[in-house]
Amino acid sequence: MPWDDHMAHDTRFDDILAMVRRNNPSISRLGFIYARETWVEVSGGGLTEIIKGRYPGEVSCDGERGAMSRGAFPVFRHGELSGVAWFDAVLPHYFTPRVLRDLEPYSALVETEAHSRRDGSRRIRSLVGLARTLARHRDDDTGAHLNRMGLYAREIAGALAPRHGLSDSFTEHVHLFSPLHDIGKIAISDQILLKPGRYTPEEFDVMKNHPMFGLDMVDEIGRQLNDSSGEDISLLRQIVRHHHENVDGTGYPDRLHKDEIPLAARIVAVADVFDAISSPRPYKPAWPLDRVIDYLVENAGRKFDTGVVGAFLSRLDAVKAIQAQYAEA
């Protein structure tokens, strides 16, 4: 797609929404669509005409999440299309010329906040790339493994999106950040991390510290970016801290149960374990697919989230294609 649709979910966007609703209480949501090209083809709802005409208007939103109408505002910077700010209303045909005039100043606020967030995300991506490179030099996780599990996580999030109302932004950030789940292993000594055999109970206790070591690293990234509470950093923190939690409460570090575990971490847990046991390693052969599926199903509701396992199994064709494309060398 030539568009990156950003749903507004954090406090700063909520503040803008609160201001909008003072005079327009029927507005239920707002967001911003980034333009990846100056002119693009957009199907349906008259959005093409709105962009090319450079004026706001109402477009169809197909009753998405209870919205009955959507107002769209093309935003231009230096004569180039920056994107489209949008507002959803719970009433049909809500966006009269008067309402559009009232909302137009807020479209600039939405655009400014959206671009501020994207700039921060780009900086995080750069640091994530560096950290992933460092991590691969200290662990037996291959680059192919990290690529596969990130793509598996994206497939799972995509399958869960309709039921959970997940945005494209969430799905892509899960894809981006899931390979960083074990970044805290950088802080584990080689004597333990690279041990070829089974860990002693004492060694395993040390290994169980890696989520919190990773959390410290993520928090430092947030401090360096002056963005310790942003949505991107929050999602990365959830993945790094909670990917070893089990839905029955037997995991670590916090022994969380079921929905107490952030959805992103539940997704990563399934993606990581699937790839770990379905791929060959120097110390073990790959499990056949049928055995891996049986393992996931048997542990759904105990180790893994049942809905996440179901979402994963619904994308098996895509999973097989990913395995073939990113096979171990």
What are the residue ranges spanned by the domains of the chain? 3-115, 138-325
**CA torsion 148→151→157→159, rounded to 10°?**
-100
- Of 41-45, 56-60, 64-68, 195-199, least confident by mean pLDDT is 41-45
Euclidean distance between CA atoms 57 and 71, whole angstroms: 6
- Indicate the pairing of strand 57-59 with strand 27-35: unpaired
Euclidean distance between CA atoms 130 and 107, whole angstroms: 35
Q: What does residue 246 show for φ and ψ, rounded to 5 degrees?
A: -110, 145
Q: How would you write 211-238 as a 3-class SS string? A: HHHHHHHHHHHHHHCCCCCCHHHHHHHH
**AA identity, residue 176:** L
Which residues are CB-neighbours of 91 under 8 A, at least 6 positions away?
A: 26, 68, 69
Is residue 262 left, alpha or beta, with left meaning phi > 0 and alpha meaning psi from -120 to 50? beta
CATH no. for 138-325:
1.10.3210.10
Q: Name the residues annotated as catalytic.
A: 185
Sign of CA dihedral 5, 9, 10, 13: positive
Residue 109 C-beta-side C-alpha neighbours within 13 Å: 16
Q: Given a cut of 60, is residue 67 above it in pLDDT?
A: yes
Reported as a pLDDT band with limits 50, 70 and 90, residue 50 is: low
Q: Given a cut of 80, is residue 229 above it in pLDDT?
A: no
CATH H superfamily, domain 3-115: GAF domain (3.30.450.40)
Mean pLDDT value across residues 182-192? 87
Write out the two tokens for 247.
């839905």
**AA identity, residue 109:** L
Euclidean distance between CA atoms 248 and 101, whole angstroms: 52
Residue 306: enclosing H or E segment and its boundaries?
helix 306-313
Write out the two tokens for 165.
């109302």
- Indicate the pairing of strand 27-35 with strand 80-89: antiparallel
* The pLDDT value given to residue 39: 37
Tell me the pLDDT tens digit for each residue of 263-276.
999 999 999 999 99
Tell me the pLDDT tens digit for each residue of 69-106.
888 888 877 777 778 888 989 999 999 999 998 888 88
Reported as a pLDDT band with limits 50, 70 and 90, residue 286 is: very high
Tell me the pLDDT tens digit for each residue of 246-255.
999 999 999 9
Q: Given a cut of 50, is residue 189 above it in pLDDT?
A: yes
Write out the two tokens for 310.
């179901």
CB atoms within 10 A of CB 255: 12
Average pLDDT, the chain: 82
Sign of CA dihedral 308, 312, 314, 315: positive
Which residues are CB-neighbours of 150 under 8 A, at least 6 positions away?
A: 175, 176, 178, 179, 271
> Can you give the length of the chain in residues?
329
DSSP letter assigned to residue 64: G
Quick one: what percent of the chain has pLDDT higher than 90? 40
Which residues are CB-neighbours of 78 under 8 A, at least 6 positions away?
A: none
Contact 214, 240 (CB under 8 A): yes
